A and B are shown apart, each in its own frame.
Chain A
């Protein structure tokens, strides 16, 4: 029982920890350049 609860807590902690990083990010960059040959 305790192990189950701990595992669930760890899973929840991981989800909270990694959600902001996966939600916010630079998706694409486009540049117009001059002087390229």
Chain B
């Protein structure tokens, strides 16, 4: 699995802890990495992802359907799941403020054994680390 992940586009380093069941992925410096692609790569290796957390920098924007999303690059954005932390930053929508956010992108639904790689990833904000 480690080698398979390391071959994915945008991956700089992969660290696997068998004891904790944790996989740490360090993206390349340009940060152009697709978390959904990683989720699929892990699943293809015969392992199921229970949770995926990210630290991501981006701007809060309103997407075409009016939902708030974190835009990481012009081609990559994550729709944000509403919670109290989103309320604290939603006033920054469509501004030039860049936020560093720790968030959950995936959690395996309770009772399901397989990783669901069909649904788009949504960002649940766990911590706003920096506002610039």
- Contact partners of A28 in chain B: CB under 8 A: 24-27, 54-55
Contact-size category for A: 10 to 19
Question: In the docked arrangement, what's the CA distance between A36 and B21, Å?
Answer: 7
| CB closest residue in chain A, given B102 | A28
Q: A23-B98, A24-B72, A34-B21 are in contact. Are A29 and B33 (CB under 8 A)?
A: yes
- Contact partners of A25 in chain B: CB under 8 A: 27, 30-32, 56-58, 72-73
| CB closest residue in chain A, given B106 | A31
Instruction: Name the prevailing secondary structure of the B interface residues.
Output: strand
A5 at the interface (CB under 8 A from B): no
Question: In the docked arrangement, what's the CA distance between A20 and B20, Å?
Answer: 36
Question: In the docked arrangement, what's the CA distance between A20 and B26, Å?
Answer: 20
CB distance A33 to B55 under 8 Å?
no
A14 at the interface (CB under 8 A from B): no
| CB closest residue in chain B, given A34 | B48
| A1-37 contacts to B (CB < 8 Å) | 20-21, 23-37
User: Residues of A with Cβ closer than 8 Å to B?
Assistant: 20-21, 23-37
7 additional A-B residue pairs with CB within 8 Å, beyond A27-B55, A29-B53:
A25-B27, A27-B27, A29-B54, A30-B52, A33-B42, A34-B49, A35-B48
